[in-house]
């Protein structure tokens, strides 16, 4: 052991600790029972209190402010807050206000500064400003021309180039509106990578996941090989096509190496370890990659002009298990909303025997515009792959359709016809849960010629309602009966426990569509007479609805659009004297909605009162509609009397219910009407979307009920057949699945399975009205727990 002393270092060590502060750290909800929501904060900042001066500022030495700010938001740091902080011993030395909003989010920044003299000092003790740096106070930097610190030559060069594109970039609201060269140059749009550049996320994700846990990479697949790609991988986006091929076939990949060319003349190089479950899958991947490379090369010769060249290593078999599964049939599901997950889960679990439908298993590809939505949909589902896909990119859609046997489109109805055209081109069957519109009807003969079935209306309503009806009607006809009456009631509702607001209703989607539906006219047949209901009077036509098996449900029904067309669909128009379809709601819903409509909240035209400056509050707009001048302290009785006086309500009971709904929706509050709202309709939609939503632990409910009255002329016997479907949403492992999602998604998946097994022989545009569809479909629904209760009453 030496006896010499260790010399202490005289070098000073400085440590800097930094953190990025988000809006969640700046404010807190006024209501302590609610959690922070970024969307809600941006829409309703008045619902939040500032907390930055309590949570962050007391511990900061320097604050760099780069945030966007408007007057409707709380300040990041006010002058009074700073004064209190400094007196309390806050270590704050300086503020760098990049935003340079004078008197804005940093209130005491009262002027901008120059490059030559970038600082000034604010003394919170004396509330004074100084240009010297020698005394007390917080040093402030507020240079408002920092971007001009680029060299003049660079600024001129960038400006000259950019000026050619500014008009197109500034005028385009959507990326599709840009010219091709600008669209291809856009790496990100609306906070996400554009489809052409999504390879960045995919390759990065594969690299990170495999680096963090090697067993999660392609090496856990049964077979792996190294694939080397070179050429114009990124500037001509060949890498997207290569990754699509791997994922669409059910394979996986791990990024081993990547070198990007530095000019348009240079090749890029990438090595991928590709994994597959079986030799058939691997052969499919390698054949498709080879075809892609050969189409890029000229006569097999790699040249400077080649977009892609390929080298494939030896295929290795990993000892993961002793059996090699056969290639699975594949189904492509387009869309990643709530409905998609039950559909994907059903198809991916189809190795089980479903009423004789033994299967080798189905590989499910879920495609969404946003990768994270697709990932969330397939999370925890085996045999499922998530991919990013813009359905407007028909070239990529065509590729994925070519790789599967059946396509399930759960997209908005406006996309179905374009997807159906691609399916017809590749001779692939298709399923949707939407009504058959004119654009789909026109494809009937083309689909028949191609030998393709486009199975539509395979959801709840339309879908299960068709199948229940046709089963009951066909059975009656087989026994020689005639259908005297057909009535159908259906509603997507909150469960009784979740119907905890004055309207007893909640939305899991934008309420605008539901409100518009409540303004549609209706027509039906009752005891031989045709009844027309004007849309403005629809809510006034609501009637009570009771089921003996469900005495706890106090419901009402409203006629649903054109009931007469179902007489033709079901083949009963000549024999039935009553044909009626209705929408279900909890009792009391319609009288409140009718009153809100009479007040004027459903008017869709821009309202001149809302356009005045400064913008009015919700209370002032409500007063305007009612012709009142009520203050916040106005008694409820005054509002009730006014509603009855104006004839908006038939009695005080209805008026009282309506006032409770108005208050629940906040239509009486002293909140400034948002800029996004220019009509009464937009105001009430915004309030309903905020207030009438499901909490994470709340369930929805689906109730479908058919009554078919059958007459048997020979025996003078009459029977009333009833069928009821009651389904509640499920909450498992902290995740909720709505009853609506189950009863729409599962029938669509069943339709795909029937087409996979060629159980549907009909071709063209098909509805589930034939026994070849509804008999097996209803049986499979029952195996999933979606059961129909049937009963017959004779008289």
List the catalytic residues.
Answer: 461
48 within 8 A of 27, measured Cβ to Cβ: yes
Alpha carbons 771 and 596: distance in angstroms, whole number:
45
Name the DSSP letter for residue 203: H
Alpha carbons 487 and 706: distance in angstroms, whole number:
6
User: Exposed e or buried b for every residue in 516-551, given b needs 16+ CB within 10 A?
Assistant: eebbeebebbeeeeeeebeeeebbbbbeebeeeeee
Alpha carbons 161 and 164: distance in angstroms, whole number:
6
The answer for residues whose C-beta is within 8 angstroms of residue 234's C-beta and 6 or more apart is: 199, 260, 261, 268
Alpha-carbon Rg of the chain, whole angstroms? 33
Signed CA dihedral, 438, 440, 443, 444: sign only: negative
Query: Which of 469, 331, 339, 353 shows the shortest CA–CA distance to 783?
Result: 353
Alpha carbons 595 and 643: distance in angstroms, whole number:
8
Q: How far is CA 213 from CA 205, 246, 256, 524, 679, in A?
A: 12, 21, 14, 62, 54
Rounded to 5 degrees, what are φ and ψ at 197?
A: -110, 10
Strand residues in 12-76 grouped as ranges (E): 27-29, 48-50, 62-65
* Token pair 């080298």 in the structure block, residue: 311
Alpha carbons 139 and 130: distance in angstroms, whole number:
10
Neighbours of 785 (CB within 10 A): 10
User: Exposed e or buried b for every residue in 213-245, given b needs 16+ CB within 10 A?
Assistant: eeeebbbebbbbbbbebbbbbbebbbbbbbbbb
Rounded to 5 degrees, what are φ and ψ at 192?
A: -140, 155
61 within 8 A of 93, measured Cβ to Cβ: yes
């Amino acid at each position: 052991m030496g006896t010499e002393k260790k010399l202490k270092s005289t070098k000073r060590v400085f440590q800097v600790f930094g953190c990025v502060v988000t809006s969640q750290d700046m404010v807190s909800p006024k209501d302590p029972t609610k959690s922070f929501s970024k969307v809600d904060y941006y829409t309703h900042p008045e619902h939040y209190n500032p907390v930055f001066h309590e949570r962050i500022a007391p511990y900061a030495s320097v604050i760099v402010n780069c945030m966007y700010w408007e007057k409707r938001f709380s300040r990041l740091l006010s002058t009074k807050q700073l004064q209190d902080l400094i007196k309390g011993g806050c270590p704050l030395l300086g503020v760098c206000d990049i935003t340079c909003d004078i008197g804005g989010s940093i209130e005491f920044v009262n002027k901008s500064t120059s490059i030559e003299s970038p600082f000034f000092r604010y003394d919170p003790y004396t509330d004074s400003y100084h240009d010297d740096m020698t005394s007390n106070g917080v040093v402030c930097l507020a240079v408002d021309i920092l971007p001009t610190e680029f060299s003049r030559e660079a600024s001129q060069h960038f400006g000259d180039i950019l000026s050619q594109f500014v008009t197109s970039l500034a005028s385009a609201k959507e990326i599709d509106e840009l010219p091709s060269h600008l669209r291809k140059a856009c790496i990100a749009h609306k906070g996400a990578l554009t489809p052409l550049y999504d390879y960045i996320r995919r390759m990065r994700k594969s690299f990170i996941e495999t680096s963090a846990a090697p067993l999660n990479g392609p090496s856990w697949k049964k077979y792996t090989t190294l694939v080397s790609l070179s050429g114009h991988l990124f500037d001509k986006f060949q890498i997207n096509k290569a990754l699509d091929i791997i994922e669409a076939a059910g394979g996986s990949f791990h990024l081993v190496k990547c070198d990007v060319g530095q000019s348009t003349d240079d090749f890029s190089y990438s090595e991928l370890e590709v994994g597959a479950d079986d030799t058939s899958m691997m052969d499919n991947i390698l054949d498709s990659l080879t075809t892609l490379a050969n189409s890029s090369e000229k006569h097999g010769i790699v040249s400077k002009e080649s977009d892609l060249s390929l080298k494939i290593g030896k295929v290795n078999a990993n000892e993961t298990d002793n059996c090699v599964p056969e290639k699975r049939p594949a189904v492509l599901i387009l869309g990643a909303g709530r409905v998609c997950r039950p559909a994907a889960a059903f198809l991916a679990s189809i190795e089980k025997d479903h009423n004789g439908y033994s299967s080798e298993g189905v590989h499910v590809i879920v495609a969404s515009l946003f990768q994270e939505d697709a990932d969330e949909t397939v999370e925890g589902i085996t045999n499922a792959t998530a991919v990013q896909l813009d359905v407007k990119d028909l070239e990529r859609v065509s590729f994925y359709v070519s790789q599967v046997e059946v396509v399930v489109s759960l997209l908005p109805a406006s996309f179905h016809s374009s997807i159906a055209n691609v399916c017809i081109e590749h001779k692939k069957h298709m399923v949707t849960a939407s009504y058959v519109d004119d654009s789909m009807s026109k494809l009937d003969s083309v689909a028949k010629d191609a030998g393709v079935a486009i199975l539509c209306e395979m959801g709840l309503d339309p879908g299960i309602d068709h199948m229940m009806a046709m089963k009951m009607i066909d059975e009656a006809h087989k026994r020689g009966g005639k259908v005297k009456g057909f009535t159908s009631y259906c509603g997507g509702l909150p469960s009784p426990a979740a119907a905890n607001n004055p309207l007893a209703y909640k939305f899991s989607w934008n309420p605008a569509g539901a409100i518009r539906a409540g303004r549609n006219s209706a027509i039906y047949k009752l005891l031989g007479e045709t009844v027309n209901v004007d849309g403005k009077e629809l809510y006034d036509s609501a009637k009570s609805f009771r089921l003996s098996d469900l005495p706890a449900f106090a419901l009402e029904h409203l006629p649903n659009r054109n009931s007469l067309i179902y007489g033709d669909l079901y083949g009963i128009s000549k024999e039935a004297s009553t044909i009626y379809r209705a929408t279900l709601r909890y009792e009391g819903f319609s009288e409140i909605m009718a009153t809100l409509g009479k007040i004027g909240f459903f008017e869709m035209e821009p309202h001149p009162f809302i356009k005045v400056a400064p913008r009015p509050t919700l209370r002032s707009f409500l007063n305007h509609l009612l012709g009142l001048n009520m203050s916040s302290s106005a008694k409820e009785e005054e509002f009730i009397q006014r509603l009855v006086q104006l004839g908006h309500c038939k009695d005080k009971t209805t008026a009282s219910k309506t006032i409770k709904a108005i208050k629940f929706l906040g239509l009486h509050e002293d909140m400034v009407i948002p800029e996004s709202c220019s009509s009464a309709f937009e105001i009430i939609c915004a309030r309903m979307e905020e207030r009438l939503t499901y909490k994470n632990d709340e369930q929805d409910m689906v109730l479908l009920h058919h009554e078919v009255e059958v007459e048997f002329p020979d025996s003078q016997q009459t029977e009333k057949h009833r069928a009821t479907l009651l389904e509640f949403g499920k909450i498992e492992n902290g995740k909720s699945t709505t009853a609506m999602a189950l009863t729409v998604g599962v029938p669509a998946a069943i339709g795909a399975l029937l087409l996979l097994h060629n159980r549907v022989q009909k071709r063209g545009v098909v509805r589930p009205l034939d026994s070849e569809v509804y008999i097996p479909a209803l049986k499979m629904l029952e195996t999933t727990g979606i059961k129909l209760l049937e009963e017959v009453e004779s008289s």
